[in-house]
Amino acid sequence: MSGGVDSSVAAALLEEQGHDVIGLSMQLYDQSEGQTSFGSCCSIDDLHDARRVAAAINIPHYIVNFERQFDERVVSNFVAEYAAGRTPLPCAHCNSDLKFATLADRAQAFGADAVATGHYARIERDVASGRYLLKRGVDAGKDQSYFLFSLTQTQLACALFPVGDRPKDDVRDYARRRRLPVANKPDSQEICFIPDNDYRSFVTRSVPDAARGGLIVDERGRVLGGHEGIHRFTVGQRKGLGLAASGAGGGMPLYVLALRPADRQIVVGPKSSLEQTTLTASGVNWIAEEPDRPLRVAAQIRHRHEAAPATVRVVERAGPSTRLGRAEVVFDAPQIAIAPGQAVVFYDGDAVVGGGWIENASW
């Protein structure tokens, strides 16, 4: 229970259905000195909201301390990825490494059979194979299946998404009918641990060396300007390059094409150079059976990206010491701004086939 309307309604629905519900909220940072500017959610006010909802629907509520785990598995990864010239996806790590790993272990200590969250996604059981299927939420504008691609069959077996089968408007209407105190609370739009959504300053404070400057060059290696840190840029970025005054690009808009952290270089060029057809992904998790031949899918490379027709091929199978492998994805048509560090998720209709972390892209 994050203190938002989605997880609050999830708890209320389960309570209404007669389940024995226990509310758990994650404390992710030290609030002993009254800190309230950690980010747009996960604050002490949100924990209070969760407790108020639990009281309103008459269920017990506990706060579990995940400060160490959150810092190790989510925040440290976020900082390291930006410092290395990649674009991280902290929500996916938080879901797989905390909510459905560590939190599932905590839930067992309460004697609970399942972990329910307010995610807009659905889980079904395939009768033929016996495997659990992860599907998009019915509200296309709120679907969060992209962030859940790394869930294992074991985790899916004990996961519940009570709001995944209804539109957001219905969720709020239900919250109002149940008179939940968060019924009209705005959704969080920012990364929960970044104050003021200023991730650049956050990374600089965490890794001062990340602010070392370097050069901005074009595709031929010609120097166009300078920068104050690789972490301030992402693939596909157009604004904030600081090149307009120099006339770089001859009046043509320039975009970040690639980041070269070893050389401290930002490579820029025209939008057409952002178009790429092939990517390689590591840490690939297959929710469906791992394919033994090239598989036709719709591949999604960003949360708000429209999944595009592609063929995915396993290039390294999961070994005995790991369940994760590598795959190559070839799109039917070039895609714009494939960013290393983001996730690529494979869909068959509205079902998640699998997904992994983008390593690199090419033509």
- Please give the full DSSP string across 48-83, using - where no structure is assigned: HHHHHHHHHTT--EEEEE-HHHHIIIIIHHHHHHHH
Is 94 among the residues known to form the active site?
yes
- Can you state the percent helix, strand and coil of the chain, rounding each to 5? 30, 30, 45
Pairing of strands 214-217, 223-227: antiparallel
In this structure, are residues 235 and 339 in contact, taking their beta carbons and an 8 Å threshold? Answer: yes
CB neighbour list of residue 105: distance below 8 Å, 6 or more residues apart: none
In this structure, are residues 343 and 355 in contact, taking their beta carbons and an 8 Å threshold? Answer: yes
- Which token pair is 300? 């999604």
* Residue that the structure tokens 């972990």 belong to: 115
Closest of 256, 234, 262, 231 to residue 243, by C-alpha: 256
Give dist(CA 11, CA 62) in Å, integer.
13
Phi, psi of 165 (to 5 degrees): -100, 20
Give dist(CA 231, CA 85) in Å, integer.
6
What number of residues does the chain have?
Answer: 363
Is 192 among the residues known to form the active site?
yes
3-state secondary structure of 358: strand
* Residues tagged active-site: 94, 192
